[in-house]
Amino acid sequence: MPLPRLCIVVPCYNEQDVLPITAPLFVQELVDLEEKGKISPQSCVLLVNDGSADGTWGIIEDLSKSDARIQGVSLSRNRGHQYALLAGYTVACQVADIAISIDCDGQDDITAMERMVDAYMQGNDIVYGVRSDRSSDSAFKRGSAELFYRIQHAMGIESEFNHADYRLMSRRALSALLKYHEANVFLRGLIPLVGFSSTTVEYVRHERMAGESHYPFRKMLAFALDGITSFSIQPIRFITFFGIIASLLSFVGMIWAFVNALLGNTVSGWASLACLVCFMGGIQLMSLGIIGEYVGKTYLETKRRPRFFIEKMTPRLRGEQRAASGSVTSDGASTKRD
């Protein structure tokens, strides 16, 4: 079996502080793996510029000029981490046999890649990087992440515990993933749906090497909501169930109110009535919100908008893509030339 060609896919958004530190580390890992005879010498690091507003793309261009192993694509605007990854996977699927996605901030242990490649050679199409220790994350981030995984599992969504977006995928797993055309992309939930044989590799998560996190609480919450509502209709079922219970209870309440009115005690019921009205109002608003979330998702899906556009590529990558007889313009759709 020939040595697999590896493409390390790295989404980068406003990462001018950390990229010059981590890019050489990714290249070093490629060199090490090559020397150990585990991957092909044609392997590369693919830096995906997700519409950064700082000097990230300039740095990517310079890096690719100084090192033949570094290649880059630039999206036409900021599309968010998940779409940036998808863009990287789309290109990797054309130029490599396996892709490993990793954040560019150095938080994930780069040396775990060797074990991932080994697991691939043993016949796994997907290898999930799983954090064995999150002590570098704040107690709040750890706690909220754990709660999120538990809620997801309670809702029947398969996802790997403590796995972020550090994973290896074979070309056939990637091309299967690219056949999912949904607009609400939550890769951690989507990839287990693809199937194929998979395994996990443990690693220790570190602190960011430089720069700041792009996931403040507000974004994390939105991401978590997407992660649930993109895969499960349990919350709507829960509302229906709750609605039935509330209706039964209010039926009892009506009888109680009617009896009280007959007995001439009506004024004294004000407080309990007010409580009931507030409670039911809250429940109704929450229910409408959850239903609205799904209606909104359906609305976004029906538009079938392209998920990203690639605006620029480093020259070498352009050449390789031509050799692969197609070029990626958007959304994984390959446009044949000639």
Residues that bind ligand UDP (CB under 6 A): 11-13, 15, 50, 78, 80-81, 84, 103-105, 107, 213-215
Binding of Mg ion by 321 (CB under 5 A): no
Using CB under 5 A as the binding rule, the residues of this chain from 106 to 145 that contact Mg ion are 107
What mask, x for binding Mg ion by CB under 5 A, covers residues 178 to 197?
Answer: --------------------
User: In this structure, are residues 159 and 128 in contact, taking their beta carbons and an 8 Å threshold?
Assistant: no
- Which option in Mg ion, ligand UDP, none does residue 29 bind, with CB closer than 5 to 8 A by kind? none
Q: Which is nearer to ligand UDP, 50 or 331 (CB)?
A: 50
Least Å from the CB of residue 24 to ligand UDP:
16
- Which option in ligand UDP, Mg ion, none does residue 81 bind, with CB closer than 5 to 8 A by kind? ligand UDP
Binding of Mg ion by 105 (CB under 5 A): yes
Q: Which is nearer to ligand UDP, 213 or 325 (CB)?
A: 213
User: In this structure, are residues 159 and 146 in contact, taking their beta carbons and an 8 Å threshold?
Assistant: no
Q: Which is nearer to ligand UDP, 34 or 160 (CB)?
A: 160
Least Å from the CB of residue 271 to ligand UDP:
46
What mask, x for binding Mg ion by CB under 5 A, covers residues 64 to 93?
Answer: ------------------------------
Q: Which is nearer to ligand UDP, 23 or 246 (CB)?
A: 23
Q: Which is nearer to Mg ion, 141 or 297 (CB)?
A: 141
Residues that bind Mg ion (CB under 5 A): 103, 105, 107
